[in-house]
Amino acid sequence: MSRTQLTIGLFGFGCVGNGLYEVLQKTPGFQANIKRICVKNKTKKRPIDAAYFTFDKYDILNDDSINTIVELIDNADEAFEIVKAAMQRGKAVVTANKKMIAEHLSELLDLQRQFNVPLLYEAACCASIPIIRNLEEYYDNDLLESIEGIVNGSTNYILTKTATENCTYQAALLDAQQKGYAESNPILDTGGFDAKYKLLILIAHAFGVVLEPDAIFNLGIDVLGELELKYACEKGLKIKLVAHAEKTNDGKINAFVLPKFIHRTDHLFNVDDVFNGIKTKSFFSDVQFFSGKGAGAYPTASAVLSDISALSYQYRYEYKKRNLTDLMAAEKEVLLKVLLSYEVNVGQNFEPYFEEINETYLNKKEGYIIGTLSLANMRAIKASFEKTSFVLFELNKGGTPIDGFKKQQVSELIFERV
Ligand SMILES: NC(=O)c1ccc[n+]([C@@H]2O[C@H](COP(=O)([O-])OP(=O)(O)OC[C@H]3O[C@@H](n4cnc5c(N)ncnc54)[C@H](OP(=O)(O)O)[C@@H]3O)[C@@H](O)[C@H]2O)c1
């Protein structure tokens, strides 16, 4: 197939934009060149010739010689305006902006169709892990059963540090911020929103369902307390923030983002620090596992570069599974075995929310319940009681525990009782 020569207009020259520029310099012979770069701050010093830069987006959008837009800015609303205007002008687009994609996926699909232009976004999900392309091409059938993974590097870094260096959540968060892994306002990451945006995109390619962000329940790691961290430590488990989506037996999708106890037999157990890991499970191939760097200038730029290269071969996502199903499983039907921890002064009897209780624990300050409840009841508890947190053990699928947990006796817990 012949390659199209790409002339690129780049939006954003921060961590990823600068990384892409450097990666392109180190890839001689690549048939793409950056013609213009649009940035925001007029006083910032730039590491390359000032002639490249503009502060007016229309210098790029209205330049007919530019056939490809690479959008790498840090504002989702402004990014959508840029991407939409570019597609309306018939320009192909590559973006890494998961929040923008998740909030506008339906409109972006319409724009692709209406203006017959491709939009690629591999870097938006797990940076260097080529998961979207795999879901599009390799799992191009109806037999994918589930997808589950660690898709947010900064929360994984914080959890790894709290578990291995015995430091507090606040100290680990500060360290992540100082290293540039977490934003100064980290709630998008720590609250599980970033993971939810990525999961929404993965679901569109894995199962063909285009969801609104509010349809996916997300809990982050910001409310995790000492009790569950200690529980994990005593049981030899790790807590990871996991994004999960699966197809139920009746063809519906259930999906959520939750902290989860991970057993050492699980592939995700050794995905530490800022790494990401994704497990796919399909009917014939069973479990497959992808891991790699989920953030950073070069890993993210490498995914952007791969999308640019794919565009030069006229590649586009086909969303082949679109409309195969559009049903989300009712949250009251999704049963989860969890550890709920709470502060004693919350003053609520949580037991009626549970279908089954395996263990309870209480001291003067806090308590926990291990048992099975529905996703709907979890949502209800979270909506009413801020100082509660949940860590998932497993989905309850008729009472057969997954292998890793068969031998875990919850009553073995050796907390000091008061
Ligand atoms: N960093 C990662 O590891 C990573 C990984 C995966 C995906 N992403 C995604 O990649 C995108 C870029 O992230 P980043 O880390 O590179 O951000 P960043 O370092 O904060 O850089 C943002 C860039 O966007 C520019 N900008 C902001 N608003 C603009 C506007 N309206 N018009 C033109 N330029 C504008 C800024 O201009 P100034 O230079 O003038 O300030 C800056 O150059 C985000 O969507 C992010 O979610 C990042």
For 88-131, write each residue's pLDDT tens digit.
999 999 999 999 999 999 999 999 999 999 999 999 999 999 99
Give strand pairing partners of 38.
Answer: 11, 54
Cβ contact 177:184 at 8 Å: yes
Give strand pairing partners of 147.
Answer: 245, 280
pTM of the complete model: 0.94
Say how many Å lie between the CA of residue 247 and the centre of ligand 1. Answer: 34
Q: Is 18 in the pocket of ligand 1 (CB under 6 A)?
A: no
Question: What pLDDT sits at residue 3?
Answer: 80
Pick from 30, 11, 34, 210: which is nearest to 112 by CA?
Answer: 210
Question: What pLDDT sits at residue 1?
Answer: 66
**DSSP symbols for 386-406:** TTEEEEEEEE-SSS---GGGT
Q: Is 299 in the pocket of ligand 1 (CB under 6 A)?
A: no
Question: What pLDDT sits at residue 373?
Answer: 97
Question: Measured from the CA of 41, which atom of ligand 1 is nearest?
Answer: 40
Question: What pLDDT sits at residue 399?
Answer: 40
Question: Measured from the CA of 194, which atom of ligand 1 is nearest?
Answer: 47
pLDDT tens for 46-81 read 999 999 999 999 999 999 999 999 999 999 999 999
| Antiparallel, parallel or unpaired: β 6-11 and 32-38 | parallel
Strand order in the sheet with 6-11: 53-54, 32-38, 6-11, 68-71, 92-95, 119-120
Q: Strand (E) positions, 166-271?
A: 217-218, 238-247, 253-262
Report the run of H or E that residue 285 belongs to, with start and end: none
Q: Whose CA is nearest to atom 30 of ligand 1?
A: 40
Say how many Å lie between the CA of residue 258 and the centre of ligand 1. Answer: 27
Which phi and psi angles does 270 have, rounded to 5°? -95, 15
Buried b (16+ CB within 10 A) or exposed e, 323-337: eebeebbebeebbbb
Residue written as token pair 């919850």: 410
**How many beta carbons lie within 10 A of that of residue 175, not counting itself?**
16
Q: Is 198 a catalytic residue?
A: yes
* The amino acid at 404: G
Cβ contact 264:272 at 8 Å: no
Low-confidence ranges of the chain (pLDDT < 70): 1, 142, 324-326, 346-347, 397-418
Which phi and psi angles does 29 have, rounded to 5°? 90, -10
Which phi and psi angles does 118 have, rounded to 5°? -85, 150
The C-alpha atoms of residue 210 and residue 102 are separated, in whole angstroms, by 9
Which phi and psi angles does 396 have, rounded to 5°? -90, 110
Q: Is 73 in the pocket of ligand 1 (CB under 6 A)?
A: yes
Q: Is 296 in the pocket of ligand 1 (CB under 6 A)?
A: yes
Distance of CA 194 to the CA centre of its chain: 5
- Dihedral of CA atoms 374, 378, 220, 107 in degrees, nearest 10, equals 70
- To test the pocket of ligand 1, the residue of 74, 78, 304 to mutate (highest count of ligand atoms within 8 Å of its CB) is 74
The C-alpha atoms of residue 20 and residue 10 are separated, in whole angstroms, by 10
Dihedral sign for Cα atoms in the order 338, 343, 344, 349 = negative
> Which residue out of 198, 252, 279, 293 is catalytically annotated?
198
Question: What pLDDT sits at residue 167?
Answer: 85
